[in-house]
C-alpha cells in the first residue's frame, strides 16, 4: 500500500506491506534507527514514538494505520542544527542512561508529557507515572526520574 507520513517534519511517500509495523518502517524504510524494538509486545516502551502528538508503541501499530499522520521519533527531538533538546541534555547531565537501549522510548514519553503538562516540574508524582510506563534494565530508574524532573522544571522556569 502507498502511504504518506510526515516524519520529523519531512513528508515521506512509502510503499509498505499492510502487515508491517510502524517501528520496522521507521527503522528500515526511513533509516531512523533511534526507535528501538525490545519486547515487540508493547510492554517495554523502547519503541515509543509520537503519532499526531500522542505517545504510541510503534511495535503495536501498523504503518498503514498512520497514513496521513505526523510521526516524531527520537531523532526529531534535536534542534535543526542537531543540538540536543533540553530533555536530551538533562538525560546526559543526570546520567539517565547506561546501555541506552530504552532511552529513546523514555525521551519520547517524557517529551509528550512535558508538552501536555507545562506544570510537570512541580509534580514529581506525575514524573513517577511517566517513568513507570517504560522498562529499563540498567539504571534503576532514579536517574531517569531526575532527568525528566530537571527538564520539566527548566521548561517551567523558562516559561515564567
Residue 13 to residue 83: CA distance in whole angstroms: 27
Q: Which residues pair with 15 in a beta bridge?
A: 2
pTM of the model: 0.96
CA distances from 140 to 43, 91, 144 (A): 17, 14, 8
pLDDT at 134: 96
Domains annotated for the chain, with CATH where assigned, are 2-77 (3.10.20.30), 86-159 (1.10.150.120)
**pLDDT profile of the chain (160 residues), mean per 10:** 98 98 98 96 97 98 98 96 96 94 97 96 95 91 97 94
Closest CA to 106 of 86, 136, 85, 77: 136
pLDDT at 102: 96
pLDDT at 93: 97
Residue 104 to residue 33: CA distance in whole angstroms: 10
HEC readout, 94-128: CCCCCCCCCHHHHHHHHHHHHHHCCCHHHCHHHHH
Provide CB contacts within 8 A for 29, sequence distance 6+. 12, 14, 16
pLDDT at 40: 94
Closest CA to 146 of 117, 116, 113, 124: 124
Residue 36 to residue 76: CA distance in whole angstroms: 15
Amino acid at each position: 500500500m502507498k502511504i504518506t507520513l510526515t516524519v520529523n517534519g519531512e513528508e515521506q511517500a512509502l510503499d509498505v506491506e499492510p502487515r508491517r509495523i510502524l517501528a520496522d518502517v521507521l527503522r528500515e524504510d526511513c533509516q531512523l534507527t533511534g526507535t528501538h524494538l525490545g519486547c515487540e509486545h508493547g510492554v517495554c516502551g523502547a519503541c515509543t514514538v509520537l503519532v499526531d502528538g500522542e505517545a504510541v508503541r510503534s511495535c503495536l501499530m501498523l504503518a498503514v494505520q498512520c497514513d496521513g499522520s505526523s510521526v516524531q521519533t527520537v531523532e526529531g527531538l534535536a534542534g535543526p542544527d542537531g543540538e540536543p533538546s533540553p530533555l536530551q541534555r538533562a538525560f546526559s547531565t543526570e546520567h539517565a542512561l547506561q546501555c541506552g537501549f530504552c532511552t529513546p522510548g523514555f525521551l519520547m514519553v517524557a517529551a509528550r508529557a512535558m508538552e501536555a503538562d507545562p506544570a510537570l516540574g512541580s509534580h514529581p508524582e506525575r514524573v513517577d507515572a511517566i517513568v513507570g510506563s517504560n522498562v529499563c534494565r540498567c539504571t534503576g530508574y532514579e536517574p531517569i526520574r531526575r532527568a525528566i524532573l530537571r527538564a520539566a522544571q527548566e521548561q517551567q522556569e523558562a516559561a515564567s
